[in-house]
A and B are shown apart, each in its own frame.
Chain A
Amino acid sequence: MSMLEVRDLRVTYRQGDRAVPAVRGVNFTLDRGQTIGIAGESGSGKSTMALSLLRLLAPTAEVTGEVLFDSENLLTSTWSKLRAVRWAEASVVFQGAMSALNPVRTIGDQLCEPILLHDKVGAKEARRRAAELLDSVGVPSRRLGGYPHEFSGGQRQRIMIAMALACRPNLIIADEPTTALDVMVQAQILQLLGDLVRDSGIGVIMISHDLSVLSHMCERLAVMYAGEIVEIGPSSQLIDDPRHPYTRALSRAFPTIGDPDSRRAPSGLAGDPPRAADLGESCAFAPRCSDVTPDCRTRTMELWPSGPGRLAACLRVLAEEGGPS
């Protein structure tokens, strides 16, 4: 049994009488010490999916399916069980460190809070652990008394990571942890996260729109489009040999410097993502796909095997791998 098993996860936002599907049947598993990257553009449902795992969404979101965390379904568990899981077993690094930290409380107080709540230790011990955590993410522990605005963007993101680690969780969900940062600071944060994963055997779900960041950090990648995973498999294979046309478009969007094919030839994807109301069982990507067939618009999509340990939701892949059926 995996540490985390997500089965047919669906999230629907209710707006008046309208139902807007944001996540439409997602399945994946994750073990301790494994890393998976969730790629996709704004509106693809990647953040909604990740936040729904710990039931962090607003009440207007209707979540169905199963999120089995150490065999316990978090979607139906009691609030007290869920509270115990949050922080202590699974925690989140949010993208905007400035808005996620409380501006009027010191870093030390904010770091101690989850420790005091979950670990039944005294204030002195919590303070000592907070100092240790801060040092471990490369922020001097003498600055425990500082307020968020006194730190730079990179340091605040480090503090967020320290908070996520506070109760020694087995799973970290990192939602765009480096998006607003400069390249140099981004590299520092990626290296920090990479070291933590290697040293502690934590499982990581990392969300980003940047495939190069994900493929660097994560063993496996899942690419989401219109609320569904359209391709999943080992990162290096998805990058080097993408099978789904959407993965291909995403991986070309960030050029490799020195690659003559992308010199003076930026690569994008024409068209816009589909509106939720237009979504059906057939391929959601078909209207933007350069390789579309008539079947794509009628046939129900599934994730079909596309190589060892890989799946892709594309009829072309099905035809090549499994023969016409």
Chain B
Amino acid sequence: MNVPALEVRDLKITYPARRGRGPARAVDGVNLRVEQGEIVALIGESGCGKSTLARALVGLVKPTSGQVLYQGTPLNYSAKALKKYRRHTQLVLQDPGGALNPRQNVFDAVAEGPRLHGLTDRLNETVRTSLTRAGLRPPEEFTARFPHEMSGGQQQRVVIAGALALDPSVIVADEPVASLDASVRGEILKLILSLRDDLGLSALVVSHDLGLAWNIADRVAVMYLGRIVEMGTVEEVLLRPRHPYTRALLSVLPDSAKDWRPTLLAGEPPDPTAIPSGCRFHPRCGNWAALSGPDREAAGCDRRDLPILSGDPSALTLTACHLVPGEHV
């Protein structure tokens, strides 16, 4: 069996308590694998823990428990080992305006990584190749520019070029298109897709946008309050959603159809400092609310904990729900 490019096993990340609240269980038990050359989309609302998970994957956050494995080897959190690791796994952030130093030109921005790693032998060529791969052609036209002289889409391409300059094998992108215009969004997604197809890169793309998963991902994982509640192939999860949360997320996408009937979940995403007992989604779950007394007692969503999804990438779909019949986890 192939070794996955990136894997997390039973990952938990808890932030310490503050202001009289309990500790925040941002990531509360996640198994996830990104296979070689695979694009996985991690979908969830703000506060569900998806960005914390992304940061743990590149070694920026140390897990409270559980493991992050790169090519089958657990991460070593010594400074030296981490530096080496980050050559292979690069993070692309949401807001390119914020990610780029305004006083640094494009050449220096892209060359920063190779310089930090002492890879300066053929720096000019590395920068040129990276810019070309990121779609900034011809590269000479861009090297002397500063961030404010470029559009948002071009800035994001510079950030991606900076990631490519280290010749990574995995890219973790946190909302890579959320701050970009509609027409640019497609161009950047095309770029991520072509990096996989041409260079064999693996990618984990974190987003709130289910359409992004449909556009580029092979598999999708839906996260809610620190756990993955449903994962599987994009077709299976998005066209035949099983978990009530995935169903609700899909139902609220606006469209021009007159019979829009969104399943609105009451309230805002709940609080990782006070995770409900049993199934963590049950206070907002329509299926649970619809159950009558004895059925409710039998289902026990409010007291029976759910096992953590295995993250097996060969499974068509995995669902963490007491009420979805015949689903193993």
Question: What residues of chain A have their CB less than 8 Å away from a CB belonging to chain B?
Answer: 41-42, 152-155, 182-188, 190-191, 209-213, 215-217, 235-236, 239-240, 249-250, 252-258, 262-270, 272-273
Q: Is B210 in the interface zone, CB < 8 Å from A? A: yes
Contact for A187 among B186, B189, B235, B262, CB less than 8 A:
B262
Determine the chain A residues whose CB is within 8 A of the CB of B186 once the complex forms: 252-253, 266-269
Q: A187-B254, A216-B256, A250-B183 are in contact. Are A182 and B208 (CB under 8 A)?
A: yes
Instruction: Let me know if A258 and B184 touch, CB within 8 A.
Output: no
Instruction: Let me know if A253 and B183 touch, CB within 8 A.
Output: yes
What are 15 residue pairs bridging A and B, where the CB atoms are less than 8 Å apart in the complex? A41-B181, A186-B254, A190-B254, A210-B182, A210-B254, A216-B260, A239-B256, A253-B185, A255-B214, A257-B211, A257-B238, A258-B239, A264-B216, A268-B188, A272-B153
Nearest neighbor of B268 in chain A, beta-carbon distance = A152
Contact for B45 among A182, A211, A256, CB less than 8 A:
A182
Instruction: Let me know if A191 and B264 touch, CB within 8 A.
Output: yes
Instruction: Let me know if B187 and A269 touch, CB within 8 A.
Output: yes
Instruction: Give the complex CA separation of A187 and B249 in angstroms.
Output: 10
- Within the complex, the shortest CB–CB distance from A224 to chain B, in Å, comes to 13
Determine the chain A residues whose CB is within 8 A of the CB of B181 once the complex forms: 41-42, 209
Q: How many residues of B contact A (CB 8 A)?
A: 41
Instruction: Give the complex CA separation of A185 and B268 in angstroms.
Output: 7
Q: Is B104 in the interface zone, CB < 8 Å from A? A: no
- Within the complex, the shortest CB–CB distance from A177 to chain B, in Å, comes to 13
Contact for A184 among B45, B187, B239, B256, CB less than 8 A:
B45
Instruction: Let me know if B183 and A182 touch, CB within 8 A.
Output: no
Instruction: Give the complex CA separation of A265 and B217 in angstroms.
Output: 10
The 10 closest A-B pairs by CB, nearest first: A268-B186, A269-B183, A266-B189, A187-B252, A268-B187, A216-B254, A253-B182, A215-B256, A41-B181, A266-B215
Q: Is B145 in the interface zone, CB < 8 Å from A? A: no
Q: A183-B45, A258-B239, A266-B189 are in contact. Are A154 and B268 (CB under 8 A)?
A: yes
Instruction: Let me know if A182 and B269 touch, CB within 8 A.
Output: yes
Determine the chain A residues whose CB is within 8 A of the CB of B262 once the complex forms: 187, 191
Q: Is B300 in the interface zone, CB < 8 Å from A? A: no
Instruction: Give the complex CA separation of A187 and B264 in angstroms.
Output: 7
Q: A184-B248, A184-B265 are in contact. Are A209 and B238 (CB under 8 A)?
A: no
Nearest neighbor of A212 in chain B, beta-carbon distance = B254
Determine the chain B residues whose CB is within 8 A of the CB of A186 once the complex forms: 252, 254
Given contacts A266-B216, A268-B184, 4 further A-B contacts (CB under 8 A): A186-B254, A256-B211, A257-B211, A263-B214
Determine the chain A residues whose CB is within 8 A of the CB of B256 once the complex forms: 212, 215-216, 235-236, 239-240
Q: A210-B182, A253-B183, A269-B183 are in contact. Are A258 and B238 (CB under 8 A)?
A: yes
Instruction: Give the complex CA separation of A2 and B187 in angstroms.
Output: 41
Q: Is B253 in the interface zone, CB < 8 Å from A? A: yes
Determine the chain B residues whose CB is within 8 A of the CB of A272 once the complex forms: 151, 153-154
Main secondary structure of the interface of B (DSSP, over half): helix
Q: Is B75 in the interface zone, CB < 8 Å from A? A: no
- Within the complex, the shortest CB–CB distance from A289 to chain B, in Å, comes to 12
- Within the complex, the shortest CB–CB distance from B65 to chain A, in Å, comes to 28
Q: A41-B183, A268-B189 are in contact. Are A257 and B239 (CB under 8 A)?
A: yes
Determine the chain A residues whose CB is within 8 A of the CB of B254 once the complex forms: 186-187, 190, 210, 212-213, 215-217
Instruction: Let me know if B183 and A183 touch, CB within 8 A.
Output: no
Nearest neighbor of A181 in chain B, beta-carbon distance = B46
Q: Is B250 in the interface zone, CB < 8 Å from A? A: yes
B248-281, CB < 8 A from A: 248-250, 252-256, 260, 262, 264-265, 268-269
Instruction: Let me know if B208 and A212 touch, CB within 8 A.
Output: no
Instruction: Give the complex CA separation of A266 and B211 in angstroms.
Output: 9
- Within the complex, the shortest CB–CB distance from B256 to chain A, in Å, comes to 4
Nearest neighbor of A266 in chain B, beta-carbon distance = B189
Determine the chain B residues whose CB is within 8 A of the CB of A210 once the complex forms: 182, 254
Determine the chain B residues whose CB is within 8 A of the CB of A41 once the complex forms: 181-184
Q: Is B190 in the interface zone, CB < 8 Å from A? A: yes
Q: Is B152 in the interface zone, CB < 8 Å from A? A: yes
Nearest neighbor of A188 in chain B, beta-carbon distance = B264
Determine the chain B residues whose CB is within 8 A of the CB of A42 once the complex forms: 152, 181
Determine the chain B residues whose CB is within 8 A of the CB of A215 once the complex forms: 254-256
Instruction: Give the complex CA separation of A239 and B254 in angstroms.
Output: 13
Instruction: Give the complex CA separation of A187 and B193 in angstroms.
Output: 29
Instruction: Let me know if B184 and A216 touch, CB within 8 A.
Output: no
Instruction: Let me know if A183 and B214 touch, CB within 8 A.
Output: no
- Within the complex, the shortest CB–CB distance from A181 to chain B, in Å, comes to 9
- Within the complex, the shortest CB–CB distance from B178 to chain A, in Å, comes to 10
B191-216, CB < 8 A from A: 193, 208, 210-211, 214-216
Instruction: Give the complex CA separation of A1 and B143 in angstroms.
Output: 56
Instruction: Let me know if A262 and B214 touch, CB within 8 A.
Output: yes
- Within the complex, the shortest CB–CB distance from B205 to chain A, in Å, comes to 12
- Within the complex, the shortest CB–CB distance from A24 to chain B, in Å, comes to 19
Determine the chain B residues whose CB is within 8 A of the CB of A216 once the complex forms: 254-256, 260
From B181, B238, B239, B254, name the one whose CB has the most chain A CB atoms within 10 angstroms.
Answer: B254
From A213, A235, A263, name the one whose CB has the most chain B CB atoms within 10 angstroms.
Answer: A263
Nearest neighbor of B214 in chain A, beta-carbon distance = A257
Instruction: Give the complex CA separation of A264 and B233 in angstroms.
Output: 13
Determine the chain A residues whose CB is within 8 A of the CB of B260 once the complex forms: 216
Instruction: Give the complex CA separation of A210 and B211 in angstroms.
Output: 13
